[in-house]
A and B are shown apart, each in its own frame.
Chain A
Amino acid sequence: MSAREGMGAITGGSLTKSLEVRLDPGKSAGLGEYLVAPLAEGGELLGMVTDVMLKSAEAGATSWPPAAGDDPLSTLLREVLLDTGVYTAVEVNPYLEVGADGTTARARRVPRHFARVSRADQEVLNRAFAVDEERAAVRVGTPLGMDDVEVFVDIEKLFERSAGVFGKSGTGKTIATMQILDAMVRNNDDARVKKERTVALIFDMHNDYGVEIKYQGEGAKHRKSLKQRHPSNVAVYSLDRTTANTDAPFAIGTQDITSDDIDVLQSTGAFTSQAIEAAHECEDRFGKSWIDEITADDPSPAVLRRTFRESGEPDDTNWTKVAQRLGFHPGSFENLRRGLRRFTRRGFVQSGSGQFAGALSHIVKTLQGGKSVVVQFGRFDKDLTAYMLVANMLSRRIWNEYSDAVERAHGNPDREPNRLVIVIEEAHKFIDRSMAGQSIFGQIARELRKYNVTLFVIDQRPSQIDPEVLSQIGTKFCFQLDSETDVEALVGGMQGRAGLRSVIASLESRQQALVFGHALPMPVVVRPPDLTEDFRAGASLRERMGAPANGRGSGKLYG
């Protein structure tokens, strides 16, 4: 065991909240750093610094602080009071008990008073994070204060449950997401059969995960994205026919859109709840061509016939009469028609059945064949309504395909489809409190692994996501968030959540994240790797088996 740097002594605290460690004179520790203390019964307790406090032994020293001058008395008084009358302490959230034999368990005991606390070193972290060189992993960054250590997260464990990347705009969410997906796709190279491949269906609103990703660091403003990195393992579809370097264009026919698909657009499409109800009624009454019918200038004979079949058609027929006959306020009906017309003017929506079914079938085959799919939005990159419609439509149908396939497999794992990860941005728009019931994503999050489909959400406002759905997200990558409600939404229910809140609040505005949850034994604050030209997010099994252990002299931690 290497000599550890002594930091201080336990002076109080509790298991469920945090331990207080009085630092030795001259020592300092930052938020997110790991400290370790021996347990009286054997083994060690590993925890993370979640607060740094300036304390005074008695009120006097701080009530009458030394003068600010540099005269001998003031200078001496300041020097004398430091680490005596006033001192620095840190709060440490206890997370793991680490046994000498390498076993780890959730912390259930605390060290005795005055137990010596040291800075965690590579050796104890290796034991805590259970180094496993045989498993595929994604590099998520370097823990704070430990520049020579890298944290890896087990890819399989990461996507066993849904995962999420959260943070306000410009904090590095997209780069982190790309790196994780890159590692996932790379890992597929080692799969012996297609079924072992975990594939992603990425709804790429801002065109970052296809060919190129926008980059704000030094040098070129773009970096290679998934398609360039893994040309044979990634297919790109685009709603924008003018987008270059795609595998196929993608269009939706008006007859492919059901009223269920319109449900999720109530907010973004500015539909009233009455208009949504009217959409369901129209689909029931007018069949698959309901959108074409009600976006026409005047009601067609077929519409009139199906609307007035019992009472007979009135002399002057118009949409107002149709709405009244169907039992809707003409204003609401007009709201629906206006919204749908606005919608059908988009270039990727075609009248009739379009090519959606063919594209859908192709995408499902591509996914089940072991390739990831990126659906890009091209010039529709700022059109949230388009994004929500397409993501919801595709996901609903692919989910159905997957759940059918799993049901057909009758529990035979060899016949079940490979694991699918659906990547959505602006997730709170799909799965907010009011929408989680209608959106397919709420169902996917809740059903978890049952159908081999999980979610990977990227979002700025986690507090807007339905709490039930959010609680199903296993591993969270949390970049800086400003809103307290957003932070609370992520750490609510976690052990030591007060400390985690302060850690998140202290994250720098770029390239710093708190990673915690299912795939990691304990939270870790990391500085994610930069997206350099030769960046490699993870290491495939084959590569790592060929490489010397702990190559380049740096330590590796695996979650």
Chain B
Amino acid sequence: MTPGPGSEAPRVVEAGLRSFTCAYERYVEQPFQLGQVVAVREGPVTILGCIADTASGPEDPGRPLQAQGGALTAAEVFAENPHIRPLLRTRLTIAACGYISGEGALALLPPSPPPLLARVEPATDAEVVHATADGAFLALLTASPLCDDAVIAAAVRAAANAHGAEARDFTVRAGKELARLLKAEPARLSSILRGVTA
């Protein structure tokens, strides 16, 4: 089940300048993907973030989910036990990678955190291209403790998709930015690029 722009959209439940957490109102099998650029448009600026982690589990930690269903698939178990899904939640951890103010996209931390309970939506291709074209957003990601090599590689891959026919040029540009940022860490650069080309 893919969350759409309607009531299924996750909402901000914890907010900071560098990162924020959002949650779906229930468990979803296919939340936003690792590295995907999302946008919070409620507030003075549109805050852009990159999905750094996704976790699903019971809403109440005191009531852990019990394994059940015998030979049934997960979909069949949920279909037979419709009361389970509302007790579960899917949470996303998002690293801030810039914001859009007026006409300009800035690869900087937003001036204020996103509002709590604001809807988190996928950024449009145009927004992604605008915000990532020069690769500067990677400075925030490489500096974030939330973003390991896999997250950064996924972010570059996702942004490249938004660049369409220019994907290869964008990938090289982003790689060069990473080479500058990680000039003293050649092994890390190689690891990220391996993830980009995977």
Q: Which residue numbers of A lie inside 8 Å of B, CB to CB?
A: 57-58, 60-61, 63-64, 72-73, 76-77, 79-81, 83-85
Is A58 a contact of B184 with CB atoms below 8 Å? Answer: yes
Given A76-B171, A76-B172: A84 and B186 interface contact (C-beta under 8 Å): no
Contacts of B66 in A (CB 8 A): none
Chain A binder among B48-56, B77-85, B138-146, B174-182:
B174-182
Contacts of A72 in B (CB 8 A): 197
Docked Cα-Cα span, A57 to B182, in Å, equals 11
Residue of B whose beta carbon sits closest to that of A60: B186
Contacts of A63 in B (CB 8 A): 186
Q: Select one of A73, A76, A85 contacting B186, CB under 8 A.
A: A85
Given A76-B193, A80-B172: A57 and B178 interface contact (C-beta under 8 Å): no
Contacts of B148 in A (CB 8 A): none
Whether, in the assembled complex, B39 has its beta carbon less than 8 Å from a beta carbon of chain A, the answer is no
Is A84 a contact of B176 with CB atoms below 8 Å? Answer: yes
Is A80 a contact of B175 with CB atoms below 8 Å? Answer: yes
Contacts of A79 in B (CB 8 A): 172, 175
Whether, in the assembled complex, B159 has its beta carbon less than 8 Å from a beta carbon of chain A, the answer is no
Docked Cα-Cα span, A84 to B193, in Å, equals 15
Docked Cα-Cα span, A84 to B194, in Å, equals 18
Docked Cα-Cα span, A63 to B184, in Å, equals 11
Sort chain B's interface into a size bin. 10 to 19
Per CB-CB distance, the 5 closest pairs between chain A and chain B, nearest first, are A80-B175, A60-B186, A84-B179, A72-B197, A58-B183
Is A60 a contact of B185 with CB atoms below 8 Å? Answer: yes
Whether, in the assembled complex, B162 has its beta carbon less than 8 Å from a beta carbon of chain A, the answer is no
Contacts of B172 in A (CB 8 A): 76, 79-80
Is A61 a contact of B196 with CB atoms below 8 Å? Answer: no
List 28 contacting pairs A-B, 8 Å CB cutoff, sorted by A: A57-B180, A57-B183, A58-B183, A60-B183, A60-B184, A60-B186, A60-B187, A61-B179, A64-B186, A64-B190, A73-B193, A73-B194, A76-B171, A76-B172, A76-B193, A77-B189, A79-B172, A79-B175, A80-B172, A80-B175, A80-B178, A80-B179, A81-B179, A83-B176, A84-B179, A85-B179, A85-B180, A85-B186
Docked Cα-Cα span, A84 to B179, in Å, equals 6
Is A76 a contact of B190 with CB atoms below 8 Å? Answer: no
Docked Cα-Cα span, A60 to B183, in Å, equals 7
Is A73 a contact of B179 with CB atoms below 8 Å? Answer: no
Contacts of A58 in B (CB 8 A): 183-184, 186
Is B183 a contact of A77 with CB atoms below 8 Å? Answer: no
Interface string of B160-173 (1 = CB under 8 A from A): 00000000000110
Given A73-B197, A76-B172, A79-B172: A84 and B180 interface contact (C-beta under 8 Å): yes
Q: Which residue numbers of B lie inside 8 Å of A, CB to CB?
A: 171-172, 175-176, 178-180, 183-187, 189-190, 193-194, 196-197
What is the predominant secondary structure among interface residues of chain A facing chain B? helix
Is B190 a contact of A77 with CB atoms below 8 Å? Answer: yes
Contacts of B175 in A (CB 8 A): 76-77, 79-80
Q: Select one of B176, B184, B185, B194 contacting A80, CB under 8 A.
A: B176
Contacts of B185 in A (CB 8 A): 60
Residue of A whose beta carbon sits closest to that of B176: A84
**Shortest beta-carbon distance from B198 to chain A in Å:** 9
Residue of A whose beta carbon sits closest to that of B172: A79
Contacts of A80 in B (CB 8 A): 172, 175-176, 178-179, 189, 193
Docked Cα-Cα span, A60 to B179, in Å, equals 11
Contacts of B197 in A (CB 8 A): 72-73, 76
Docked Cα-Cα span, A79 to B193, in Å, equals 11
Docked Cα-Cα span, A406 to B190, in Å, equals 78
Contacts of B194 in A (CB 8 A): 73
Known pairs A76-B196, A83-B176, A84-B183. 9 more at Cβ < 8 A? A57-B180, A58-B183, A60-B185, A61-B186, A73-B190, A76-B175, A79-B175, A80-B178, A84-B176
Is B187 a contact of A64 with CB atoms below 8 Å? Answer: yes
**Shortest beta-carbon distance from B163 to chain A in Å:** 15
Residue of A whose beta carbon sits closest to that of B174: A80
Docked Cα-Cα span, A29 to B178, in Å, equals 27
